[in-house]
Amino acid sequence: MKKSSSIYIHGSHQEEQQRLSALNDFLNAGCLEKMKFERAAHILDVGSGLGQFSRAMASQLQEAGRVVGVERDPLQIQKALTKAQQAGQEGLVEFRQGDAYDLPLKDEEWGSFDMAFSRFVLEHLDQPSLAVAQMAKAIKKGGKVVLADDDHATYRLAPEPPGFTLIWTAYIRSYERVGNDPFIGRRLTSLLYENGLQPARLTSVFFGACAGENSFSFISDNLIGILEGAKELMCQEQLITPTHFEESIASIRRWQELPNAALSYSIDWAEGVKGS
Ligand SMILES: C[S@@+](CC[C@H](N)C(=O)[O-])C[C@H]1O[C@@H](n2cnc3c(N)ncnc32)[C@H](O)[C@@H]1O
Asked if residue 124 has its Cβ within 6 Å of ligand 1, the reply is yes
Mean pLDDT within 229-233? 95
Give the pLDDT band of residue 3 (cuts 50, 70, 90): low
Q: Would you say residue 46 has pLDDT above 60?
A: yes
Q: Is 4 in the pocket of ligand 1 (CB under 6 A)?
A: yes
115-153 confidence digits (pLDDT tens): 999 999 999 999 999 999 999 999 999 999 999 999 999
| pLDDT for residue 1 | 46
Distance from Cα 133 to the centre of ligand 1, integer Å: 17
Please tell me the distance between residue 212's alpha carbon and the centre of ligand 1 in angstroms.
Answer: 32
Write down the mean pLDDT value for the chain: 96
Give the domains, in start order, of the chain with CATH numbers.
Answer: 14-274 (3.40.50.150)
pLDDT digits 0-9 by tens, 237-265: 999 999 999 999 999 999 999 999 999 99
What is residue 10's predicted lDDT score, i.e. its pLDDT? Answer: 85
Is residue 86 predicted with pLDDT exceeding 60?
yes
> pTM for the whole thing?
0.95
SS3 labels along the chain: CCCCCCCCCCCCCHHHHHHHHHHHHHHHHHHHHHCCCCCCCEEEEECCCCCHHHHHHHHCCCCCCEEEEEECCHHHHHHHHHHHHHCCCCCCEEEEECECCECCCCHHHCCCEEEEEEECCHHHCCCHHHHHHHHHHHEEEEEEEEEEECCHHHCEEECCCCCHHHHHHHHHHHHHHCCCCCCHHHHHHHHHHHCCEEEEEEEEEECCEECCCCCHHHHHHHHHHHHHHCHHHHHHCCCCCHHHHHHHHHHHHHHHCCCCCEEECEEEEEEEEECC
**Quick one: average pLDDT of 208-218?**
96
pLDDT for 248 equals: 98
pLDDT at residue 65 tops 90: yes
Q: Is the CB of 53 under 6 A from ligand 1?
A: yes
* Ligand 1 atom having least distance to the Cα of 49: 27
180 lines ligand 1 (CB under 6 A): no
- Find the mean pLDDT for residues 108-117: 98
Pocket flag, ligand 1, residue 71 (CB < 6 Å):
yes
**Predicted local distance difference test score (pLDDT) of residue 12:** 87
